[in-house]
Structure formats: structure tokens, C-alpha cells
Amino acid sequence: MRLLRSFLAVARERSISEAARRLFMSQQTLSEQIRQLEKNLGVPLLLRGSRGVTLTPAGERLATGAASVTAELDALVDEVRRIA
């Protein structure tokens, strides 16, 4: 889940350095997380350039799906905590 949230931050910001700043982590750490996610999935998610990043088609699809999955998970966690 951590890797997905990190990826979503990069997808929103279109910048690894800006996403790292917002997540309070180093750019190197965030880059490594994205590389790990790409390795786990076996597909490139980002096209890296001097002016930021662009999502690949696979990255676009993952960003869309991951946004809804993380929102659902957050809602579920909130509900479980209210029950407890």
C-alpha cells in the first residue's frame, strides 16, 4: 500500500522531487519505491524527463485504479475504527 500511495503522489504532482517533498522523504527514497513498484508489476509506470514525469498508459491505469482502492481502504479503516 505504501508503494501505491507513493506512486499516487508522483502521479498527482507529475514530479518525483515535488512528491518527495510533500511526502517528507528524500527524492532518492521515493525514486527507489517507484522502481520497486515497476519491478513488482513488470511494467514501466513513468517516463522520466528533465521537466518531471509523464505516466505511461500502464501508469495512467494504475493511478486511476489505485486512487479508488486507497479511498475505499481509507473509508473501511475509518468505519472499523468507529465500530471499535
pLDDT (tens digit per residue) in 22-72: 999 999 999 999 999 999 999 999 999 888 899 999 999 999 999 999 999
> Is 4 a residue whose pLDDT tops 90?
yes
Name all contacts of 29-32 with Cβ < 8 Å and 24+ positions apart: 30/6
Q: What pLDDT shows up at residue 69? A: 93
User: Is 40 exposed, middle or buried, given 0-12, 13-18 or 19+ CB atoms closer than 10 A?
Assistant: exposed
Q: What pLDDT shows up at residue 52? A: 87
Considering the entire predicted model, what is its pTM? 0.88
Q: CA–CA separation, 67 vs 80, rounded Å?
A: 20
| Helical (H) or strand (E) element with 68 | helix 57-83
> Is 21 a residue whose pLDDT tops 90?
yes
